[in-house]
Amino acid sequence: MGEALIGRLEAAVSRLEALSAGAHPSIAPRGLSDDASAKDPAILAFDDLVAGALGRVSMAAGKIGAEVVEVTRLVEKAFLVGKDLLIRTKQTQKPTMESMATFLGPLNETILEANALAEGTRSSHANHLKASAGSLAALAWIGYTGKGCGMPLPMAHVEESWQTAEFYSNKVLVEYKNKEPDHVEWAKALKELYVPNLRDYIKRFYPLGPVWQSPGNATNKAPSAPSPPASLAISSASSSQPKSGMSAVFAEIGSGKPVTQGLRKVTDDMKSKNRTDRTGVVTAEGKETRNAPSFGSTRGPAKFELQMGRKWVVENHIGNKSLIIEDCDTKQSVYAYGCKDSVLQIKGKVNNITIDKCTKVGVLFKGVVAACEIVNCNSVEVQCEGSVPTISIDNTSGCQLYLSEESLQTSITTAKSSEINALVPDASSDGDWAEHSLPQQYIHAFKDGQFTTSPVSHSGA
């Protein structure tokens, strides 16, 4: 069995080397000999990462087949691009903000290719595709150039990028647990490729980002940004599939704009207190309008704004998988209304979260001071990574709650709701989730002068 495993690893490495030789001739390292890169401890360790952690993902994908093999090959391709970029940093001056898009162009192209596969393919493996495509944003850590570049430190960037992908990989774990172990192995291997393997690799060799050549000794100067190529000049208006994650950032920096502009941050002129067309006060008429059907012709414009410095409003987004609230605090609340087929990430701890009249929406948040409320929703998924004292679910059909170890003490209240499932870490299995259905049927019995209520229990296999 050991020889068979070694044989598979060697085959995976051979396939990766073939990709490296033929996929991206334009990113071959300039001015750095093969002997120099072969002796670089950081590059040798990266090869070990590819052969070991990524080889494990490739082997699991091979057992599953179908589109999972195709998207895993794109992950392999992206890591090889990342290796070539790391080699080039040794002989390249630190790029400017404008030229960074050109430097990262090959990586951006691979991310766009994975996104196109994930968003444009109707497949029973849709969660595999989205998890893989979402994970590739982690490799953008190579573009870190220091404070002010619009990115957190490389290790933090990898961890934050994985959170988006984990939303979908958790679905794979839940769907195939106790059914098809190859899918479970693939999901676990994909996670471990990034956390802890890539994160620990960066911690060891590049904790403060890539090592660029000093200006006086640089063999190559980072190319200035020309007019963006077609792959980088794609606008949201010309595509029915919205770009998500760092691919959206790359599309923006390809136009010469600051790297942080691709993220959904709120500027001063977007805040209600500085806008002349509204006061930030919700009128009674506004509340009545919200009683209209969620997805009818009365749908209002999409909103993503901070009102009066206290309330984040996310309204009427359809098919937007990259809604991100980063700059938030415990004095602010979040209100999501009328969204469909979208994913909202809340990077910090807030006071309160309300999800109202949303369909097929995923919400991932760090923690809540007061409560998370889910009202009038259909088929939503909510994941808490920190603590949340109370979760309230009202008039909702279909809700998946993913609770972390810190949030297991939460109090869950349900009313007029069905198909509510809570998933908690499985103590008997590393990385798996244990699913618990919350009762929706009750028996009310009159006894000793009062009614007693108990959930209906179903017996059987």
- The pLDDT tens digits for 36-77 are 666 889 999 999 999 999 999 999 999 999 899 999 999 999
**Residue 98: its pLDDT value, please?**
77
pLDDT for the residue numbered 421: 93
405-419 burial code (b ≥16 CB/10 A, e <16): eebeebeeebeebee
Per-domain boundaries in the chain: 39-206, 303-454
Residues 6+ apart with CB under 8 A from 419: 397, 398, 399, 440
pLDDT, mean over the chain: 79
Give the span between the Cα atoms of 424 and 374, in whole angstroms. 19
Q: State the residue for tokens 């490729």.
A: 193
Residue type, 130: K
Q: How far is CA 50 from CA 60, 77, 114, in A?
A: 14, 11, 18
The residues pairing with 453 across neighbouring beta strands, listed in sequence order, are: 444
* Residue 67: predicted pLDDT: 92
- Architecture per CATH, domain 303-454, reads as 3 Solenoid (2.160)
- DSSP percent split of the chain into helix, strand, coil, nearest 5: 45, 25, 35
CA 304, CA 306: separation in Å to the nearest integer? 7
Nearest-angstrom CA–CA distance, 344 and 383: 11
Q: Which of 143, 84, 121 is nearest to 262 (CA)?
A: 143
Question: Residue 10 has what pLDDT?
Answer: 55
Largest CA distance in the chain: 90
Name the least confident of 150-154, 173-177, 225-229, 255-259.
Answer: 225-229
* Calpha distance 70→41 (Å, rounded): 31
pLDDT-based confidence at residue 294 (cuts at 50, 70, 90)? very low
The pLDDT, as a whole number, for residue 267 is 57
Indicate if the pLDDT at residue 194 is higher than 70: yes
pLDDT bucket at 7, cuts 50 / 70 / 90:
low
Identify the burial level of 229 via C-beta atoms within 10 angstroms of its C-beta, where 0-12 means exposed, 13-18 middle and 19 or more buried.
Answer: middle
Query: Which ranges of 65-153 would DSSP assign to H, the alpha helix?
Result: 66-89, 97-103, 105-120, 126-135
- Predicted confidence (pLDDT) per residue in 283-293, tens digit: 444 433 334 33
> For residue 54, which of 96, 94, 88, 83 has the smallest C-alpha distance?
83
If DSSP codes are grouped into helix, strand and coil, which group holds residue 145? coil
Backbone φ and ψ for 341, nearest 5 degrees, come out as 50, 45
- Tens of pLDDT, residue by residue over 117-153, are 988 778 889 999 999 999 999 999 998 888 777 788 8
Amino acid residing at 407: S
Output the pLDDT for position 111. Answer: 93
pTM assigned to the model:
0.55
Tell me how far CA of residue 34 lies from CA of 29, 37, 206, 372, in angstroms: 9, 5, 21, 55
CA end-to-end span of the chain: 37
Q: Has residue 326 got a pLDDT over 70?
A: yes
pLDDT on residue 261: 45
Sequence-ordered strand ranges (E) for 328-403: 333-337, 340-356, 359-375, 378-384, 390-394, 397-403
Kindly report, residue by residue over 417-446, the tens digit of the pLDDT: 999 999 999 887 777 888 999 988 888 899
Who wins on pLDDT, 20 or 321? Answer: 321
Q: Is domain 39-206 in CATH 2.40.50.140, yes or no?
A: no
In this prediction, residues 234-253 reach a mean pLDDT of 42
What is the token pair recorded at 50? 């590819």
The region of weakest confidence among 97-111, 235-249, 372-386 is 235-249
- DSSP state, residue 194: I
**pLDDT greater than 70 at residue 268:** no
Structure tokens at 295: 């997805």
> 311-315 and 303-307: which strand pairing?
antiparallel
Q: What percent of the chain has pLDDT over 90?
A: 49
Task: Indicate whether 99 pLDDT > 90.
Answer: no
Asked if pLDDT for residue 258 goes beyond 70, the answer is no
pLDDT tens profile 344-380: 999 999 999 999 999 999 999 999 998 999 999 999 9
Q: What is the pLDDT of residues 183-192, one digit of tens each?
A: 999 999 999 9
Specify burial of residue 368 (Cβ count, 10 A radius: 0-12, 13-18, 19+): buried
- Is it true that 39-206 and 303-454 share their CATH fold? no
Q: What torsion, rounded to 10 degrees, do the Cα atoms 78, 82, 83, 88 define?
A: 140
Are the C-beta atoms of residues 338 and 357 closer than 8 Å to each other? Answer: yes
Rounded to 5°, the CA angle 431-16-116 comes to: 70
Rg (CA), the chain: 24
How far apart CA 274 and CA 82 sit, in angstroms, is: 43
Spell out the residues 6+ positions from residue 458 whose beta carbon is closer than 8 angstroms to its own: none
Q: What is the mean pLDDT of residues 70-97?
A: 92
Q: Which of 169, 191, 160 is nearest to 348 (CA)?
A: 160
